[in-house]
Amino acid sequence: SPRMRLDVSVNMLTMQALSNGKITVFGGKQIRPNIHIDDITDVYIHLLGHPDVCGVYNAGFENISILDIAKLVAKHIPVEIEVTESNDPRSYRVNSDKLLATGFKPKKTVEHAVREIIEKYRSGVVKDEERYYNLKWMQNKVLASR
């Protein structure tokens, strides 16, 4: 993507490992649902191909703790994981059984995403730049244009 997101958990932790040689996790017990961007687009294509399917559907397939995501990243990039305290206990889980019942099957996992980011970073396609972080991007592009 011309502006992929490096401020979402999997991408952020992978980029920390690549850029800093270390991952900092705040808390770590918080759960986040995850879905690969390719699977998101496949959900749209799947639903467009099934006009009889209507309603609201959740799309997220791996509910994983932040610490477990960091450990998965560290499996591919040998780095130290520093766990610090957090006052943000929020966790989010998504159940996508209703979507799966329509015949949709996700193809890519969190581990797949980690490997892709590593490959793109090492080949120079993805860099740790402000444009990949929504808040920084909005501050520089959107707010600066006012």
Bigger pLDDT: 5 or 71? 71
CA–CA gap between residue 5 and residue 16 (Å, rounded): 13
| CATH top class, domain 9-145 | alpha beta
**62-102 pLDDT tens trace:** 999 999 999 999 999 999 999 999 988 899 999 999 999 99
pTM, two decimal places = 0.84
CA–CA gap between residue 104 and residue 100 (Å, rounded): 5
Count of C-beta atoms within a 10 Å radius of residue 123: 8
Estimate to the nearest angstrom the gap between the alpha carbon of 84 and the chain centroid: 21
User: 45-63: string of b/e by CB count within 10 Å (b at 16+)?
Assistant: ebbeeeeebeeebebbbbe
Closest among 135, 134, 29 to 90, alpha carbons compared: 29
